[in-house]
Structure 1
Amino acid sequence: MDPLLAVKVGCLVALLFITLICGLAPAFASWFLKSSVKDNYKLVVCLISSFAAGIFLGACLLHVVADSLSDIAAELSYINYPMGELILSLGFFLVLLIERIVLQFCHNQQNASQDGLPLPETPTLPEPDYEEKQETPAEIDASVAEPHNHIHPNVYIHASFRSLILFCSLSIHSVFEGLTIGLQSNYSSALQIAIAVLIHKGIIVFSLSLKLLQSMTRRAWLVVYIVLFSFMSPVGIMIGIIVTLNKSSIVTLVQAILEGIASGTFVYVTFLEILPQELNTSEKPLLKVLFIVIGFTIMAVIAIWA
């Protein structure tokens, strides 16, 4: 077998198995599925989540956006206009519009169902015995901080929808990552990019799986997401190998435009969902920032070879 083709096929198989292993580990490791959340467990999950946020931030700025802008600039260099930024913005506003439409539809459906039913009778509750049990300020704070007890249904709608958008944007980017490998014509460059993508993919899919768990995604759906996601880069590699046999300027232009739209969706999810979720809490703020920086630094180092 040709050495270049061997590198591409080897990366295809490795990406498939690494993505499956790293993506399914959080879903089936009992440590991530504890029902009784203790302080140490909460802290570790919090720091891992902050690390994942740094990974997504680095992937967004140093890989996804940078790659798409350079590709669009190369393909549309004859246009004296920031076309890369424009296409990225279209992806951003596309997700914003879709999310607003879905949330408005869900809100209207909820109001319609409430208007069509009689209001339930308010049950008469016994007077609480304050002398028997009174909550301390610490217990009150803990109950407010507990995410599973006092969340409005719209929060779950946001989390589920944005998790789906996150999955779709990462999947599209994964296809183009695979295309990047499959379209290489040089053995050394293909091997170098393959190693970087393998490291990048393992971290990204683990972070994606963790985010899906945090958004209350059912295990069955999480497995479906991860299995589908694991095939995205291999599919991109296969498409790239086929395209190299008959590569045209139209194909590369369409690829650059689609990658720019996917980058816009990635920017939306990174800055409106992941980072606010980690930073808008008062728990260990400096430590969380440190782990975000560590995650970003890893992506910055990978960018040297990517």
Structure 2
Amino acid sequence: MRLVSEKCISMGILLASNLIMTSIGICLQRFLRQRNVNFLSTTQHIISCLTSGIFLGTLLMMIVPDSLELLAHRWHTMNIGYLFIGLGFFLICIIQDLINLYELYAFKQQVGTETQEILNSLKESNHDNRITRLITLVFALGTHNFFDGIMIGGQTKDAMTLWLVVAAICFHMSLVAFSVTLRLLIDNETYVRVFCAMFIWSLMGPLGVLASLLITSESSGLSLFNGVLQCLSAGTFLYITFIDMIHSDLMKKMFYPFVNSLLIFGGFSIFVLISLLHKYMH
């Protein structure tokens, strides 16, 4: 019962951390609009690499083993958890492809219009395109955030594990909220619209926690469904870690060779040391 209460508290922490970083991003954008932001960009990249390593450690040492354990004895010849982890991975791939197809369709529709019509309605067209980008971005990030919430609500079995996962997710998602806020403002979105969009996105994490708690609250009757759901979230976590985070960080050429890899390894080592300390204390 105490663990459930702590998970409810984590819902508020998830929401608050994202909204705080969104507000900081808005204020910082206004303050630094006419100033050099190289230092800010460098610091942001270092934190991003470190959190990628933390997520990698979370995935390999906590999320995947716990997910597979839930479905370990559901099939005689194999652990079907591997299947659902793969399905979770491809679920996000399909969602991303659908978003890309929609953006491509919208682009072709715009290109197919008459040149004169584009010139006459340039301002309105740009406004519509910004709205489209805003909606698709919030939907894509919100999907990931929702599954992160499911992972917090369902994957964690003790308080220490819960707060380790919450800290890792808050650390990264706060950075994402900060980065997305700045990017949307660079695209000339209004402050009110950006804050509303980020508020909707921030709500998805707590909603994921709530959904997982409602399912796991009757685990005796829904244990199989709970295991499937958690394996799907593990597959989603796999996508986020390798495709959204590590690959993106490794492709950025901001430092000398191997620095990005070393930073990611540093984040991974931090999580490994924390996990070993946790096991030693217990």
Taking structure 2 as the reference length, the TM-score comes to: 0.74
Q: Percent identity?
A: 20
Secondary structure of residue in 1 paired with 2:115: coil
- Mapped to 2, the partners of 1:281 and 1:155 lie a distance apart of 23
**Corresponding residue number in structure 2 for 1:28:** 23
1:141-220 map, 5 Å: 162-177=140-155, 180-181=156-157, 193-215=158-180, 216=183, 218-220=194-196
Asked if 1 retains the 8 angstrom alpha-carbon contact of 2:138 and 2:201, the reply is no
Q: Write 1 or 2 for the structure with the bigger share of helix.
A: 2
2:228 counterpart of 1:253: no
Larger mean CA deviation between 229-238 and 61-70 belongs to 229-238
Structure 1 164/9 Cα, relative in aligned 2: closer, same or farther at 3 Å? closer
Taking structure 1 as the reference length, the TM-score comes to: 0.69
Larger mean CA deviation between 286-295 and 48-57 belongs to 286-295
2:49 counterpart of 1:50: yes
Shift of the alpha carbon at 1:61? Answer: 2.2
- Mapped to 2, the partners of 1:171 and 1:70 lie a distance apart of 20
Asked if 1 retains the 8 angstrom alpha-carbon contact of 2:150 and 2:212, the reply is no
Gaps (5+ residues) in structure 1?
A: 123-153, 182-192
Asked if 2 retains the 8 angstrom alpha-carbon contact of 1:49 and 1:278, the reply is yes
Shift of the alpha carbon at 1:155? Answer: 9.4
**Corresponding residue number in structure 1 for 2:198:** 222
Shift of the alpha carbon at 1:298? Answer: 3.1
Shift of the alpha carbon at 1:257? Answer: 0.9
Counterpart amino acid of residue 94 in structure 2 = L
1:17-166 map, 5 Å: 17-29=12-24, 33=29, 34-35=32-33, 36-74=35-73, 76-78=74-76, 80-118=77-115, 162-166=140-144
Structure 1 199/214 Cα, relative in aligned 2: closer, same or farther at 3 Å? same
Shift of the alpha carbon at 1:68? Answer: 1.3
- Mapped to 1, the partners of 2:247 and 2:204 lie a distance apart of 27
Larger mean CA deviation between 227-236 and 204-213 belongs to 227-236
Asked if 2 retains the 8 angstrom alpha-carbon contact of 1:8 and 1:237, the reply is no
**Corresponding residue number in structure 2 for 1:294:** 266
CA RMSD of superposed structures (Å):
3.3
Shift of the alpha carbon at 1:59? Answer: 2.3
Asked if 1 retains the 8 angstrom alpha-carbon contact of 2:141 and 2:201, the reply is no
Structure 1 292/37 Cα, relative in aligned 2: closer, same or farther at 3 Å? farther
Structure 1 29/108 Cα, relative in aligned 2: closer, same or farther at 3 Å? closer
Gaps (5+ residues) in structure 2?
A: 120-131, 185-193
Asked if 2 retains the 8 angstrom alpha-carbon contact of 1:90 and 1:261, the reply is yes
- Give the structure with higher Rg (CA): 1
Structure 1 213/82 Cα, relative in aligned 2: closer, same or farther at 3 Å? same
